[in-house]
Structure 1
Amino acid sequence: GPTLACADMPVFDAGSPIPFISSQLSDVDEDSEEEEYDKKFAAASTPNMKRSEETSTGAGSRVQKDKPAALQRIFLASRLSGREEELVDRLVSGGKAVVVDEKELVGLDVSRSLAVCGNSELETGDGFFVPRTYGYLLAIACGMRVVTSSYLSEFGRPIESSRHQVIGDTGCSMYMAPHRSVEAKRSPGTKNLLEAYVVILCGDFDIMPRGRGATDQVYSQERLSQLMCACGAQVVSNFNCSSPNLTKLVMVRPNPRARDWRASKTLVHPADLTICANWLLDSVAEFDKKDPNNYTQRIFRR
């Protein structure tokens, strides 16, 4: 495949969690809260804001052109319910936020960006665990704050850590990865999480479905490249021009079959290791650089 340029990528590294702002909100019944929310958006007026033209890129997607810089950007990190989709529509039409596409995230200033995950599966005293999706991993790689869809009905209020924050996915063994990535993004001079690696993607990868197919757990070659670039790794078609100081990896698809490993052996390369892409997914999911030696054919079992 062609060499993908990964210059000027965001800065990432592990660090201690940052605190979310906590506020005490009075309990109200659900009907009153919805009524108050409706009035809030009905009263919204934006006479000086140019109405953006919406373009659709698939189910539940609202990507806008000419996005005002001052608005909060929302990235939908996983599929939402119908009611949650309506809340997002209200925020967009009311001039409160714009929705960004996954292809816009790498290199984007995420200081006013928020990733929203639906279908939280586990609640703890510290926050929520969600299913692992490509969108969730990309949000972490880019240093975005990640919240559950419950925050949509309180959009604009301070984020209560125990009520809305996502602290991990259901496949991770370490949590607080979103917090570590945000802190790394905000810390000048920190290194990229995977900047020590140069990678060749080898073999077959997932193909994005056409139409309205679910894509939450589709890991195409383009998506894996985007994740690596967001974390500072170089993605190349050969190692000829690679720095000798970088670790050279050949990577096959996540959860590979025997034929995927065999295909990698036909590639003429001076690689240090041939590994599966689960190394990348686990490193991003926990925002912790995993040892690639644990993801070789001899050792990896999933």
Structure 2
Amino acid sequence: MDHLIRNIAVLGSGTMGNGIAHTFAQFGYQVNLIDINQAALSKALTTIHKNLDRQVAKEIISEKQKEQTLANIICIDDLEKGVANADFVIEAATENTGLKLNIFKELDKFAPKAAILASNTSSISITKIASVTNRGEKVIGMHFMNPVPVMRLVEVIRGYATSKETTKMVMDLATTLQKNPVMVNDYPGFVANRILMPMINEAVYTLYEGVAGVTEIDTVMKLGMAHPMGPLQLADFIGLDVCLAILKVLYDGFGNQKYAPCPLLVNMVAAGKLGAKTGEGFYRYTTGSKALVVAEKFKYPETM
């Protein structure tokens, strides 16, 4: 374990936050999992417990390691208290620029001056986030992939002011979690989403224009390109609202029409059809799970 980083604060207990807390705790770090919503914290702990049970069943960890991992996590509903002794803080809140800027103003105020402040953002500018703090050299992106305990990639995003020392510490930190860190520079979407989101958007356009149906599009990409999941199903799992938000960041950041979100995606988000988390997106899902029920049928636009 890195000799300079012991205490981790994870802000946000949703899918990404609880996965990040789980992973740090599993590798011996002391973790404060912070969320203002007590119900969300309880749900996060339940999820971590289930995921640890799955690891035990697969003999990835022992029962003793599971218990130690749980013992390494403390749930806190107060941000100031949660980051007071942190060496490293990682924010995993909703992908919303205004929200993240407000959070980092607070983190800069309450976290120790020596603490590194990281964001798990998948698209928002680290340079912009750092600009609201007085420690730009210590602000960095650490973008984990979902599910965090399983996926090995971590995008480490260096903002305009991020120091070489901070970058090296975070790269080294990721390796202690048995992850493969890849350093990238701070431009909209970084690498993963700059490539992934236009592909998903093009799949939605292919559906919107009536080229093929949902299952047909996904089957082509799974069988033809060896993708483990088709782009439309993947969009459902990511959340159509998240996909739309990232595409807007790309479109605003580059001013290029190729990143313009498909009108069908815009409409689905407006209608509250956000994918697996709402039970319906391009597919329908059983209540409370990501088990597919059926592909949706869309009425395609009539040919002019």
Q: TM-score, normalised by structure 2?
A: 0.29
Higher share of residues assigned helix: 2
Which structure would you say has the larger RCO, counting Cα contacts within 8 Å and 6 or more residues apart? 1
